[in-house]
Amino acid sequence: MENFEKEYYWEFYLRDNPLTKDDANDCVAEVKTGPKTLRNEDIAKEIKSRGSETEYETILSIVSQHNGIIEENLLNGQSVMTDLCLFTPRIPGAFPSPTAQFNPAVNKLTLDIVPSKRMREALKKVKTISLGRKPEVAGIDLVTDTATGLTDGTITTNDDIRIDGSRIKIAGDEAVVGVFFVTEDGSKTVKVSRRLTQNDPSRILARVPALDNGNYILRIVTQYLQGSQLLKEARIIEYKKMLTVEGGEDERPGEL
C-alpha cells in the first residue's frame, strides 16, 4: 500500500523592510497565519478529537499543568527543552562595570527560543507559496524600543518607541485620534499626551507614558487615508504583538 505523507504549506506575503529605509526594493516575508491563535483549550479539544478516551477537562488540566511547570522553571532561571524548542533565560542590555546591578531602564528579562532538532527536521517538510507583495493596507509592522533597540515587545516608560507601518499617521479629530496603550484586560486606556516626535504615514515616534508593569495593546486611532485625504470615521489599528512594561512607574495608568 502506497504511503502518502501529509503535505504542509506556509503562504507568505512580501512587504517593505522597515529597517532598511535606504533600499526601496528590500522586502521581508510575512507568513499568512490562521484566523485564530491556538490556545490550551484548542489543544485539549484536538487531543480529544484524535481519539483520546481521557475527559476533555482532564486533558486541559494536564496541558495547563505542563505549561505551568515550564513557566515556574523559567522564572527560576532554568533552561527548558521540550520536544519542539529550547527555552533559555537571557538578560539583554549593557552593564557599565563588573559590579553593576540590574537596571530596569536598560536591562530586560527575556527568553531565547530555539527550535529543537525534531522541529528543525519537521520544518524541512514545509513547502512555501509566495502570495506576492502584501496589499497596501493600514497596519503596524514593527515596534522598536529606542532606549534598548529591542523589537521583542518590551518597551521603556518615559522613552520613545518607533512605530513602523502603513497609513498610520495620526490625523483627524483630536478628541478621538491618537496613540493609546490599552491594558491586556481592556480595563484601562492611556493616551499619549506628549507631542509626537515624528508623525508620518509609515513611521511614528511616540513617548511611552508612565505605565504600570504589565502587558499592553498598542492602538492607533486615525482618520488618515493618504495625502490630505481623511476617512469619514476614524480607523482603529492595533499591533498584533503584545507590548510589555517591566520596571515601570508606580502611577496607575488611569491617573495620567
Helix (H, G, I), strand (E, B) or coil at 92: coil
Residue 250's pLDDT is 45
* Claim: this prediction has a pTM higher than 0.75: no
Residue 23's pLDDT is 67
Cell (9 digits) for 20 = 532598511
**Which residues partner with 144 through β-bridges?**
162
Domain residue spans of the chain: 137-249
Average confidence score pLDDT of the chain: 90
**Which residues partner with 98 through β-bridges?**
none
Distance between CA 163 and CA 179 in Å, rounded? 10
Residue 211 backbone phi and psi in degrees, to 5 = -95, 150
* Kind and range of the H or E run holding 122: helix 117-123
Helix (H, G, I), strand (E, B) or coil at 195: coil
Residue 229 backbone phi and psi in degrees, to 5 = -80, 140
- The strand pair at 214-226 and 160-166 is best described as unpaired
Task: State which fold the 137-249 domain adopts.
Answer: Coagulation Factor XIII; Chain A, domain 1 (2.70.50)
User: Which tens digits make up the pLDDT trace of 214-252?
Assistant: 999 999 999 998 888 888 889 999 999 999 998 655 443
- The strand pair at 160-166 and 178-183 is best described as unpaired
User: Which tens digits make up the pLDDT trace of 108-138?
Assistant: 999 999 999 999 999 999 999 999 987 767 8
pLDDT reading at 254 higher than 50: no
Distance between CA 68 and CA 62 in Å, rounded? 10
